[in-house]
Amino acid sequence: MAYDFVTVKDLLAGGEHYQDKNLKLTGWVRTSRTSKNFGFIELNDGSCFKNLQVVFEDTLSNFEEIDKVSIGSSLEIKVTWIKSLGDKQPFELKVDEISINGFASLDNPIQKKRHSFEFLRTISHLRPRTNTYMATFRVRSIVSFAIHKFFQERGFVYVHTPIITSTDAEGAGEMFRVTTLDMNNLPKDGTGAIDYSQELFGKPSFLTVSGQLAVEAFCFAFRNVYTFGPTFRAENSNTARHANEFWMIEPEIAFADLEDDMRLAQDMMKYILNEVMTQAPDELDFFNKFVDTDLLSRLDNAVNSDFATITYTEAIEYLKKSGHQFEYPVEWGENLQTEHERYITEEIFKKPVFVIDYPKEIKAFYMKLNSDNKTVRAMDLLVPGVGEIIGGSQREENYEVLHQKMLATGIIPEDYEWYQDIRKFGSFPHAGFGLGLERAVMYLTGMKNIRDVIPYPRTPNNILF
RNA sequence: UCCGCGAUAGCUCAAUGGUGGAGCAUUCGGCUGUUAACCGAAGGGUUGCAAGUUCGAGUCCUGCUCGCGGAGCCA
């Protein structure tokens, strides 16, 4: 008899279209329960979050074998779709044949019990088979594609900025060094210093900490552009929201100011929220039930309200007036501490908040100076549960002002000649921001640790796989 | 990197300085509709590593390793 292959996703969506059809399913055992003469297997085939339960009886020729099937085993199941006699579910599958493709060893660490995220991190190669991680990584995929869709629909050009760069200290953090030299036998010059001319590139090179500067040059040609790629920071950060390898999205828009930049950021956030809510409702329900019971109401609230905007100066006033006792003092000119940011977005506004116009001393050299000469056109988007998710600014488009700011902040202008150069040939107002993909996924899922939203996370002391 | 907490069975956790236990998982048996199934039994341990104090250390001291939470750096 011929059996047509069908996915669990299609089967669940297909309804009576499949009535009386002979169907073949393939997938993995999530859990099984058996009695003397029959048993249940919950099969997940990767096509969707939901499992499909099949009932098998001792009429199967290999009932003894299936009765003992282990969690994780891969199966091929031939069934006939029949309309359900009861009213609990619309259909039942009459199992004609089950064959085991690969029997999972009994020491499989994934068992039908709750495991801690800490433990599952030690088995990154197995954890995608669990509900939480299957949901997380499907959301990650949907978010990634939604971001491309958002920008492509608006005519943005996707630019692949380099992963290996020669500019040290792009201003965004410690860098990993890329080298072809023999670390046990480093070539030295006459003075005893390392002879970098013997590097493959003829000089020191590093992994990128941001594609922003490189993509700005393309903004000068294509108007609206974006990068979407891996980013590397060598900081010894030990927090739930920092990783040494992560993915970042950096749009750059032409003839635009900070207000345009914030509008773009808000539109993008709402767009990906909508995409995930429509494409992954089962996953979001799961997160709302088991990971973060406020998730759905928080996401609904974000989609249906305008994000708030306050200046840094106003934020300081809000915090001072709040009467809340902070561990770190609130003072104009100081960086907002994490506790301050969380208080603003979680307690005062209870929704995403843009904080803009920061003191120039605490922000990067390329940000446009305000007319007050004290603050710059910077914006951070703070969201409940995660904190800073986006950092952006209007860029300093004036060649001379940019050059002076580099000198004032200790950046060597010669190292960035090409970056200043683009201002010489037809400069104009432009702006952009960086969105941390993992932080977006954390916000959308309620997952609290960045190590749980990257397939194989790289953090200090952790590069297991 | 700093502060705090922790590391005991495959997993999640108990154990007053005095014979290391439970639940889940695994194995075996029972059970005709379960859905983290249920009931009964069995197996399972160099208590993270090293060195101390003590008649005696999972427990106390010191060092180290790793993990978690918070902070800084930021996305």
pLDDT tens-digit series, residues A291-313: 998 999 999 999 999 999 999 99
pLDDT (0 to 100) of residue A172: 61
Burial A64-86 (b: 16+ CB within 10 A, else e): eebbebebbbbbebbbbbeeeee
Q: Which of A8-22, A44-58, A116-130 has the lowest mean pLDDT?
A: A8-22
DSSP string, A239-273: STT--SEEEEEEEEEES--HHHHHHHHHHHHHHHH
* CA atom of A245 to C1′ atom of B75, Å: 11
pLDDT tens digits, one per residue of A403-415: 998 888 888 888 8
Among all strands, which nt has the closest C1' to A111 (CA)? Answer: B25
pLDDT tens digits, one per residue of A337-381: 999 999 999 999 999 999 999 999 899 999 999 999 999 999 999
Q: If you measure CA to C1', which residue is closest to nucleotide B30? A: A36
Nucleotides of B under 7 A from a protein CB: 1-3, 10-13, 23-28, 30-37, 65-75
Distances (CA, A) of A66 to A29, A392, A462: 11, 57, 39
Among all strands, which nt has the closest C1' to A231 (CA)? Answer: B75
Among all strands, which nt has the closest C1' to A381 (CA)? Answer: B75
Closest CA to A378 of A388, A365, A368: A368
* CA atom of A113 to C1′ atom of B56, Å: 39
Residue A90 has pLDDT above 80, yes or no: no
Residue A173 has pLDDT above 80, yes or no: no
* CA atom of A108 to C1′ atom of B31, Å: 27
* CA atom of A80 to C1′ atom of B21, Å: 49
Among all strands, which nt has the closest C1' to A107 (CA)? Answer: B10
Q: If you measure CA to C1', which residue is closest to nucleotide B75? A: A436
pLDDT tens digits, one per residue of A423-463: 999 999 999 999 999 999 999 999 999 999 999 999 988 88
* CA atom of A33 to C1′ atom of B47, Å: 34
Among all strands, which nt has the closest C1' to A42 (CA)? Answer: B35
* CA atom of A109 to C1′ atom of B9, Å: 14
pLDDT (0 to 100) of residue A114: 82
Mean pLDDT of chain A: 91
* Mean pLDDT score, A394-421: 90
Residue A89 has pLDDT above 70, yes or no: no
* CA atom of A463 to C1′ atom of B67, Å: 14
pLDDT (0 to 100) of residue A93: 81
Q: If you measure CA to C1', which residue is closest to nucleotide B37? A: A33
pLDDT (0 to 100) of residue A171: 59
Residue A137 has pLDDT above 50, yes or no: yes
Give the DSSP H/E element, type plus range, for residue A31.
strand A22-34
Residue A419 has pLDDT above 80, yes or no: yes
- Give the pairing of strands A205-207 and A225-232: unpaired
* CA atom of A70 to C1′ atom of B27, Å: 13
Q: If you measure CA to C1', which residue is closest to nucleotide B12? A: A115
Name residue, tokens 């009535």.
A19
Q: How confident is the model at residue A87 (pLDDT cuts 50, 70, 90)?
A: very low
pLDDT (0 to 100) of residue A88: 53
Among all strands, which nt has the closest C1' to A439 (CA)? Answer: B75
Closest CA to A241 of A444, A393, A443, A379: A443
Residue A178 has pLDDT above 90, yes or no: yes
Chain centroid, CA A408 distance in Å:
35
- Give the pairing of strands A387-394 and A225-232: unpaired
ipTM given for this complex: 0.89
* CA atom of A130 to C1′ atom of B70, Å: 29
* CA atom of A461 to C1′ atom of B52, Å: 30
